[in-house]
A and B are shown apart, each in its own frame.
Chain A
């Protein structure tokens, strides 16, 4: 009897004592966004029974990878809606994965988009274009969610800018301006690669904000010593813009390149 009482004391009392530590760990996990979305019944049902057990045992990454790899098979069999479903599931399982969001929009807007536009089943070309635009819209929505989940990294802003530049600008008059907006957000991250900044400048120009573009190229020139920056490209663009904008010679970075 005494033993039992002791065991209860030894098990229960300290377990209660560790509760504050547990709560503090849990709070930190939430703050640092570990673990991802809660494993709701819907998520568990959509991965299947075996995978659900793996999920519950803590192998979230492995399950997400399997779902992701499976989506590749759907792509090969042209089962786009199922591919879409799996891609969404993978991003739901690991919403902190920049990789999944990034590749998700690429699959939707680029691969599936092109495939549905050129689908021989389309009655007319207009049908193909309509379908492509729908998939591009899905890609955009996906990236909005991605940015929501990983707002503190440059990658998804850059991807969104690229989506606007390459795809959405075809139908949207402010496409390049939106691209510039996102490139600008991405370029502001100190660890963003140098080409993000150059794309930002170009997007500004395409948006019609040539003066701002010029100012940004000048800033890049001032920063030309940065690793992997391409000074020759910056120089060429600056010279062109200085001529096109007819910058007064005393304000130019390259006065010697002035054209009459």
Chain B
């Protein structure tokens, strides 16, 4: 008998879709409702500030919340995946079929990333709606004061409101947030390949999250010691993904830089995925 079972993208897709469906039906997306509250609040308050301030606040708060809630979905969604599979023994039924462990792990991961992507899409749409709403209100306010403003100054104001409200560069920021969350998800996945407790998975990932942001500070403080540098190099540098603040301030973020950071995230993700596979393929289930 020379039957061979190769790697199958179809099986990966089946498992990914199943993971995604399961999360959606578990109503993970309720978390998005809280995001909606942040969006509405940030878009409705702060009327006493200037239009530039108001738009900055909306963008900062919405992108900040998008990043936080995205991270919550990525970490919690991924952290419970393998423990739930083990506890419900569903993993036995899957791996007893002609399914490779790598296919199972990749499928699980992609399902989780899918959930993150769809959540970001929804949050992005809400964010866009908030900006649109704010833009129209600010323009209406500016026009109401048109009597007392010179024509060219008014034109300049309107132009500025439009430019600040609809800055396509924000998409670059959202893209890099997505890459960062995908990286966080794979960190969680890696931890859950050798632990069985969801709480442990979440705790370790949150520590990696903080350490990843603190790398710069830590390198400055203790960078002279080589072993500290080596230790820090293991943790991905997450501050590299934070360009949203700069985009909001109007800093130019070239596509070349976005591409380089995304590539960095991808390389890190692939490395961690490989490590997760290595551990998981030898795990006793």
Contact = CB atoms under 8 A, between A and B. Distances in A.
The answer on direct contact between A and B (beta carbons under 8 Å) is yes
A7 interface: yes
A14 B151 contact: no
A144 interface: no
Given A10-B275, A21-B263, A61 B50 contact: no
- Which secondary structure dominates chain B's binding surface? helix
A25 B61 contact: no
Contacts of B274: 10
Interface residues of A, number: 51
Contacts of B153: 193, 195
B151 A3 contact: no
Nearest to B283: A3
- Which secondary structure dominates chain A's binding surface? helix
B25 interface: no
B145 to A, nearest CB: 17
A35 B245 contact: yes
Contacts of A14: 267, 271
Contacts of B282: 3
A102 to B, nearest CB: 8
A168 B155 CA distance: 29
Nearest to A39: B217
Contacts of A61: 56, 59-60, 63-64, 244-245, 248-249
A62 B151 contact: no
B264 A21 contact: yes
B261 interface: yes
Given A15-B271, A57-B210, A98-B250, A62 B61 contact: yes
A18 B264 contact: yes
Given A18-B267, A34-B251, A38-B220, A3 B279 contact: yes
A228 B153 CA distance: 8
A60 interface: yes
Contacts of B251: 32-34, 96
A15 B234 contact: yes
Contacts of A57: 209-210, 213
B242 A11 contact: no
A152 to B, nearest CB: 9
B249 A16 contact: no
Interface string B262-285: 011001100100110011001000
A35 B240 CA distance: 9
A68 B252 contact: no
Contacts of A15: 233-234, 271
Contacts of B67: 58-59
A227 B251 CA distance: 25
Contact of B261 (A6, A16, A25, A98): A25
B260 A62 contact: no
A18 B268 contact: yes
Given A10-B278, A62-B61, A230-B151, A19 B233 contact: yes
A139 to B, nearest CB: 17
A228 B213 CA distance: 46
A25 B264 contact: yes
A97 B245 CA distance: 10
Contacts of B263: 21
Contact of A34 (B49, B64, B238, B243): B243
A65 B267 contact: no
B213 A229 contact: no
Nearest to B263: A21
B61 A21 contact: no
Given A21-B267, A29-B240, A65-B56, 8 more contacts: A10-B275, A21-B263, A28-B257, A34-B253, A35-B246, A72-B48, A153-B250, A194-B152
By Cβ-Cβ distance, the 10 closest A-B pairs, closest first, are A228-B152, A61-B60, A61-B245, A14-B271, A62-B64, A10-B275, A58-B242, A193-B156, A96-B249, A34-B246
